[in-house]
Amino acid sequence: MTNGKQPGDTCVLVTGGCGFIGSHTVVVLLEQGYEVVVVDDLSNSSEKVLDRIDQIVGDEAAERLTFVRADVADRDALEAVFDEFDIDAVIHFAGFKAVGESVEKPIEYYSNNIGNTLALVDVMRNHDCKSIIFSSSATVYGDPDALPLTEDSPKKPATNPYGWTKWMIEEILRSLTVADPAWDVVLLRYFNPIGAHPSGLMGEDPKGIPNNLLPYVAQVAVGRRDAVHVFGNDYDTPDGTGVRDYIHVMDLARGHAAALAWMAGKTGCEVFNLGTGTGTSVLEIIRAFSAACGRDLPYVIEPRRAGDVTANWADCTKAHEMLGWDAEFGIAEMCADSWNWQSHNPNGYEG
């Protein structure tokens, strides 16, 4: 809720709402009674996800969803959205998100991710809408000095342009709250989102070769890839492979709804980690997914990738205490739901 409004009286703009995390968040918002407007240019997502959302939430809830195909950097398109709808708050997911690609295309990443954020908050300001939740990332912590990571852990220099865009957008939004205390900003730092909607109707559907571990593992399981590539087995971890804090996408979606309800007209800038608080190695993920799909998945050990950290996981005490939020799902459930999605949709939303 924002400004004390009930969900049924609250209209939320979700940028990038057809993407992996955005679409699952839209489901939770609709189920909680919010009016939702999705703006997405479909550059890295599928319009077919909208039909899946309708199937999951049902006809009545689906009537509260409006889709606008537009680039968030298109000010005229955004102005039209704010003119037509009385937007109370924004959840900002839209942006390019492939780490490797960002190294190859830094201009495109800086231009898109930072440019669309600047256009968005300027249009928001013009329409006196000053509540925003930003989809940030644990990448802002860089190579951690100590674990677990808390919201007070220092931000470190990013190791790639994608990470720098998250880092910079956080600073842009902080600056807004300093310049104008009426702004209400929440920065949600995700750890590693995986899993899928338990219905099997929605999940992660990356275009091209997946950049993240789980969709790659899932594509090996359905025969689209030959083997999982494990980058480095000589890290200072129990089995030598990198350790990350994986979080179920539905837990992450509930985290956004919890943050939205918590804001309720507050002002200032607040940061929350969203993770499970547990680290899981790459080999543990492969074993868990093998159990989920019922066969051992092949993998090959490759050299370390530049920029990969040894380990990170979150301390989510703050989200528990202030948002009343906790992650509910473990690795077995994350892998089972991911396999359920991938096995029923071997080619993602395209078939």
Give the model confidence (pLDDT) of 248-270 as tens digits. 999 999 999 999 999 988 999 99
Residue 308 has pLDDT above 90, yes or no: no
- Tell me the per-residue pLDDT of 44-66, one tens digit each, with 9 for 90 and over: 999 999 999 999 999 999 999 99
Per-residue pLDDT band at 240 (split at 50, 70, 90) = very high
Token pair in block for residue 64: 């509260």
Give dist(CA 67, CA 5) in Å, integer: 23
Average pLDDT, stretch 298-310? Answer: 91
Domains and CATH numbers, the chain: 9-195+247-275 (3.40.50.720)
Q: In terms of Cα–Cα distance, which of 185, 201, 183, 214 is closest to 284?
A: 214
Per-residue pLDDT band at 3 (split at 50, 70, 90) = low
For residue 34, indicate whether it is catalytic. no
| Cis-peptide, bond into residue 346, ω within 30° of zero | no
Is 29 within 8 Å of 14 (Cβ atoms)? yes
Token pair in block for residue 345: 């949709």
pTM higher than 0.85: yes
Residue 1 has pLDDT above 70, yes or no: no
pLDDT on residue 65: 98
Under 8 Å CB-to-CB from 63, ≥6 apart: which residues?
A: none
- Tell me the per-residue pLDDT of 69-120, one tens digit each, with 9 for 90 and over: 999 999 999 999 999 999 999 999 999 998 888 989 999 999 999 999 999 9
Name the average pLDDT for the chain: 95
Residue 332 has pLDDT above 90, yes or no: yes
- State whether residue 151 is helix, strand or coil: coil
Per-residue pLDDT band at 153 (split at 50, 70, 90) = very high
What's the DSSP call for residue 141?
A: G
Give dist(CA 206, CA 184) in Å, integer: 32
Rounded to the nearest angstrom, the gap between the alpha carbon of residue 207 and the centroid of all alpha carbons in its chain is 16
Q: How many residues does the chain have?
A: 351
The single residue of 34, 109, 141, 162 carrying the catalytic annotation is 162
Residue 212 has pLDDT above 70, yes or no: yes
